[in-house]
Structure 1
Amino acid sequence: MTIRLTQYAHGGGCACKIPPGELEAIVAGLVRPPGDDLLIGLDDGDDAAAIRLDGDRAVVATADFFTPVVDDAYTWGRIAATNALSDVYAVGGEPLLAVNLLGWPRDVLPMELVTEVLRGGLDAADAAGCHVAGGHSVDDPEPKYGMAVTGLADPGRLLRIGAGRAGVPLSLSKPLGVGVLNTRHKATGEVSVEAVAVMTTLNRDASRAALAAGAVCATDVTGFGLLGHLYKLARASGVTAVLDTAAVGYVEGAREAVRAGHVSGGTRRNLAWVAPHLEPGGVPEETLLLLADAQTSGGLLVAGEIPGAPVIGELVPAAGPAITLR
């Protein structure tokens, strides 16, 4: 009997995030300004926290987990771990140690599948040179998996979401569209090999390239879609982002998946959240949905040019909406 893990969860991957507008309202009263040692906190919505150890080292910490995005247990484990590691890369760090976070319906799904999930996570961490030691598990009505990751960074060379400056180009290290393809997979069982390859590719090289190029601003593109994460970057940086929609790349089959109706509720909520801050410039709804597509383990959005990543726009002085499409 083939067990389809995606059928045991109400959604999948980063599309299951609490909507960005609701999340910001929840944490609004919890924001504390960074002190001398807390270099990255909760104020701008960066991907990980960072605290100074000494003049040369900062500790980076993050946690990320979600419900199955694909049916294969091992592949889901790889994707979830790659996604968690990405938060460390997004602030310019290198992961050192991870612990597993697991929720499992132990009376519903075979425990043998847990081993495969954890094996996938271990292999992703091994590829990143990150140790995995222990973790925490709970009996949960839905399967959930991810990692809490600790890393190191240079405190003087962190990538921050609010450090963008006018006159700087925007680069994106991975194509969009894995969200709609994952939604199609959940509905039909059809596997996109390219989408899996995108989701299991570490953002290590993109992060290192950004630092080598002197970039100071970046974020990874996950559940809030490109538009959502770009809006957060532009708002935190006090600039307007001009996005060249023709320069954005997509995973093969993504447009066809949108046309077939495989669009998650998370993607539609992303677009509704950004719409008041967006000048769409006549861009068709199909493209808007792809730009808002809730990505799982997406690429790095970098303020700066990095090798191998297309330039998809630029930051300009703040004027009108936070994002302008052309």
Structure 2
Amino acid sequence: MTVTVERLTQYAHGGGCACKIPPGELEDVVAGLTAAPRDPNGELLVGLDTGDDAAVVRMPGSPDAVVATADFFTPVVDDPYDWGRIAAANALSDVYAVGGRPLVAVNLLAWPRDVLPFDLAREALRGGLDVAALAGCHVGGGHSVDDPEPKYGMAVTGVADPDRLLRNDTGAPGLPLTLTKPLGVGVLNNRHKSTGEVFPQAVAAMTALNRDASAAALAAGARCATDVTGFGLLGHLYKLARASGVTAVVDAAAVPYLDGAREAVRDGFVSGGTRRNLGWVAPHTDFGAADEETRLLLADAQTSGGLLVAGEVPGHPVVGELRPAAESAIVVR
């Protein structure tokens, strides 16, 4: 029997990318599962080794490489159409994060069919379709399952120039760090889930495509980047610094935040995912004089966040720099 639904987020144990498996636990699960022994020709250009954003495979006889990724999550906002738009922008972001262009996507839908009306699922799918159209990406069906908890996302296939990829293992000392979206959607989404307050600035940030930022990074000559999602700025930066063999310095005062983000932290709207992110990076980070509020915001679990680029990207703030490897992988100043 279906029921009238007012708060879609109340049917999810977490929200958006904050519901990801914690980074430390995930690394334990996938340890040793690299594809190198099964790829004697070196066609897999980007795989599991450094936890990059998407898989990239060179196509023999073609100037292009294939980019493949998948991403889905529980409702991050109550409006199903906005949830669909956010989920699609987030899935497409993995293609942009490696310097690719999305071509086709298929929907991934899990739905509690005896609990939630299918009208809500249709709205989520419509939101995903509209964002994919904005990105010039075809949507060709997908897959659905009956599930106790609603989940939606996409598997996306794209193309990239194999000689002009953005990777998380190509950072070098001396490069500036640029962030293309403000932080804070995690704590604002958690406040939304808890209170029902709506934050249009957070929805606008999450539905914005990383297409233009990716193109600008490539045009500026960047070769190292990642997107900032469920592991927070510090978590994704730690993976980049570790993979590149450098230390990353973050200028905390230069990092942009959404309006209301600091207030949400002060009022206690911090997800468990954000606290787990902070716990994971803390042993590898010199926080200096950064207070607890700043630490939590830097580790805030983002959904459909921006790109973090090793290089300058016109129109976006520089928030730090890469330096030769030191005792700590990250230094916050």
Class of the TM-score when normalised by the shorter of the 2 chains: over 0.9
Q: 2:293 aligns with which of 275, 286, 289?
A: 286
Residue of structure 2 equivalent to 1:138: 145
Structure 1 residue 6 and structure 2 residue 9: aligned? yes
Question: 1:31, 1:269 → 2: CA distance?
Answer: 25
Structure 1 residue 32 and structure 2 residue 39: aligned? no
**CA displacement at 1:73 relative to structure 2:** 0.4
Structure 1 residue 59 and structure 2 residue 66: aligned? yes
Residue of structure 1 equivalent to 2:262: 255
Question: 2:190, 2:62 → 1: CA distance?
Answer: 46
TM-score, normalised with respect to structure 2: 0.97
Residue of structure 2 equivalent to 1:192: 199
Q: Secondary structure at the match of 1:70?
A: coil
Match for 2:287: what amino acid? P
Question: 1:160, 1:23 → 2: CA distance?
Answer: 20
Q: Secondary structure at the match of 1:62?
A: strand
CA contact (8 A) 2:5 2:116 kept: no
Q: Secondary structure at the match of 2:315?
A: coil
**After the TM superposition, which residues 115-154 of structure 1 pair with which residues of structure 2 at under 5 Å, given as runs?**
115-154=122-161
Match for 2:305: what amino acid? G
Structure 1 residue 91 and structure 2 residue 94: aligned? no
Residue of structure 2 equivalent to 1:49: 55
RMSD of equivalent CA atoms: 0.8
Q: Secondary structure at the match of 1:120?
A: helix
Q: 1:240 aligns with which of 222, 240, 247?
A: 247
Question: 2:316, 2:282 → 1: CA distance?
Answer: 26
Deviations 1:178-216 (A, max 9, x none): 000000000000011100000000000010001001110
Match for 2:11: what amino acid? Y
**CA displacement at 1:317 relative to structure 2:** 0.3
Question: 2:193, 2:332 → 1: CA distance?
Answer: 31
Question: 1:279, 1:256 → 2: CA distance?
Answer: 25
Question: 1:231, 1:176 → 2: CA distance?
Answer: 16
Residue of structure 2 equivalent to 1:159: 166
Q: Secondary structure at the match of 1:69?
A: coil
Residue of structure 1 equivalent to 2:332: 325
Match for 2:231: what amino acid? F
Match for 2:264: what amino acid? A
Question: 2:67, 2:6 → 1: CA distance?
Answer: 37
Q: Which stretches of structure 1, 4 residues or more, deviate above 4 A after TM superposition?
A: none
**CA displacement at 1:29 relative to structure 2:** 2.0
Question: 2:318, 2:5 → 1: CA distance?
Answer: 42
Q: Secondary structure at the match of 2:140?
A: strand
Q: Secondary structure at the match of 1:30?
A: coil
**CA displacement at 1:55 relative to structure 2:** 4.9
Residue of structure 2 equivalent to 1:299: 306
Residue of structure 2 equivalent to 1:181: 188
Structure 1 residue 207 and structure 2 residue 210: aligned? no
Question: 1:177, 1:262 → 2: CA distance?
Answer: 11
Question: 2:124, 2:240 → 1: CA distance?
Answer: 33
For structure 1, which segment, 25-34 or 284-293, has the greater mean C-alpha deviation from structure 2 after superposition?
25-34
TM-score, normalised with respect to structure 1: 0.99
For structure 1, which segment, 13-22 or 29-38, has the greater mean C-alpha deviation from structure 2 after superposition?
29-38
Structure 1 residue 170 and structure 2 residue 177: aligned? yes
Residue of structure 1 equivalent to 2:225: 218
Match for 1:47: what amino acid? D
Q: 2:110 aligns with which of 92, 96, 103?
A: 103
Question: 2:62, 2:176 → 1: CA distance?
Answer: 30
Percent of aligned pairs with the same residue? 76
CA contact (8 A) 1:96 1:130 kept: yes
Question: 1:123, 1:219 → 2: CA distance?
Answer: 25
CA contact (8 A) 1:55 1:155 kept: no
Q: Secondary structure at the match of 1:74?
A: helix
Structure 2: tracts of 5 or more residues without a match: none
CA contact (8 A) 1:174 1:298 kept: yes
Question: 2:175, 2:35 → 1: CA distance?
Answer: 29
Deviations 1:216-246 (A, max 9, x none): 0000000000000000000000000000000
Q: Secondary structure at the match of 1:103?
A: strand
**CA displacement at 1:123 relative to structure 2:** 0.4
